[in-house]
Structure 1
Amino acid sequence: MINGILVIDKDKGMTSADVVYQLRKALHIKKIGHAGTLDPDVTGVLPIALGQATKLIELMHTKNKEYCGTGILGFSTDSYDLSGKLLQVQNLTEQLSAEDISKAMQQFVGRIEQVPPIYSAVRVNGRHLYEYARENITVERPKRLVNVFSYNLVGTPTFNKEKGQEEFSFQIECSKGTYVRSLVNDLSNKLNIPATMKSLRRTASSGFDISQAVKLDDIVCNPSHIVEYIQPIETFFKDYQQLNLTEDQWKKVQNGAAISLQTNEKQVALRYNKKVKAIYHVKGHLYCPELMLLQNK
């Protein structure tokens, strides 16, 4: 059994489900899933959990995500990106300063309320928003609270006087559930200029970054090479205190028993034979099981 995380550098045009399907076929593995959906037009980091690591998917979702991308000032679309229908056009006669764009971005840093794009997978009354959009049905989109830790302008914006548009690059670090398309679109409200997202690439997710990623074709065409790219389950818990179990403690953990530990941490990763076997949390004077990974070998 393969246990670990495979970090895929997803290409444009594929869904996250497409990636899982192809890997399942190539690796002949049933226990597989992705952490953090990427839209087909978005490239970059897509963590894939294999074997025992599938138990980590909910925890993987809680980690912050990082993106780099480009946006355009001068028009907007209903999908907030280039795939949507044109909604508004405003030909720019002069270039907006980098300072003005950066200042507008900073107003979205922190805990903010966000409305997801109509073309998104958010469910309302059991149906995805994009299903309503395709049928031209108006529906109230649910607002959500998200955390934006940084939203920065990168480099110098470029102005195309002939098109009446200005293009800019950005970097964002945010919590799960954040729609970057919305963050670009929302600049319209601060700048009084329509905006849309041109491209987006996720550079980090679930504690892994693009430097650890591999292209899907490299795995599908050479599945035997997967061991070269697998990130061990232990790497996900690098921010946890990891404690080595004694033989006696290991026997108790295998039975899901509470144990006494010499630590003040609220949550710890327990190791046996150099492998994380369980996550325990404090309860009173003992530590109790929270997540079991006994088959992590």
Structure 2
Amino acid sequence: MRIRSYAKINLGLRILGKRSDGFHDLHTIFHRVDLFDTLTFEVVDGGILLETNRDDLPTDSGNLCVRAAEALLRRYPDRGVHMYLEKRIPAGAGLGGGSSNAAAVLRVLPGLLDLRISEDQLREVAAALGSDVPFFLQDGSAEARGRGELLEYFAFDAPWWILLVVPPIHVSTAWAYANLELRDNTGAPDLRDALFAARSDASALADLLQNDFERSVIRAHPGIGTVRTAMLDHGALGALMSGSGSSVFGLFSDEESARACAAEFDASHVVSLTEPHFSPGHIVVDS
């Protein structure tokens, strides 16, 4: 079986404060874009094997795909899987690539290997693997709170050309949280309301496109700010760093402007363009 594992962007990201357990409460909108990894699964008699197209990726328990498979197969020692990961989503970019991969494993293996696990158990496993993993268990966009695991899914038909650019900069999420400058978000407009208003009123994007990580991350990595400025200079309705960086997305009203902006970035940047109304639908490519 071969499936696609899509990246996400954060359409707005507010960090509300640090919790007693050391994590931070947040408020964000997760939305998938047309950049994906591919995972291929083959049933074997026992054990877990992961291979990838990248020499710099771990293939043991340091990889979330393996940890996800281990969590599901702990009670099924006679069942196994061989996985091949073709990686396109850059790491350390705020796109949730590893989380998306892990969720793909959680979605596929129960059916492929006839595992008895409830939806609630799957969500518990996903949350233990990482804060972004639960979002990828279902299709659609979602409003997220808590660590990112408290999710309300909804359908959103994005009217924009979404240009995604990842500069050759790696940002550690742990570093981003350690250097976070908390803002007072009291009275800030509701993100989902701003999102739907922005479909027909570009001025509403100002309420939506705010990322509390952006100031400190761009101060440490000015190249991220350069990408954001380039998008605005080429006519983007709005541009924002996604997650803890280093990726930046711009929302464009027309294809010509989006493609002209994309052409400005050299080969050291990962560039992806998502068409308006994109919806990934079913993740299975073939079975």
Q: Going by fraction, where is strand more abundant, 1 or 2?
A: 1
Higher-Rg member (1/2): 1
| Higher helix residue share | 2
Q: Give TM-score, length-normalised by structure 1.
A: 0.23
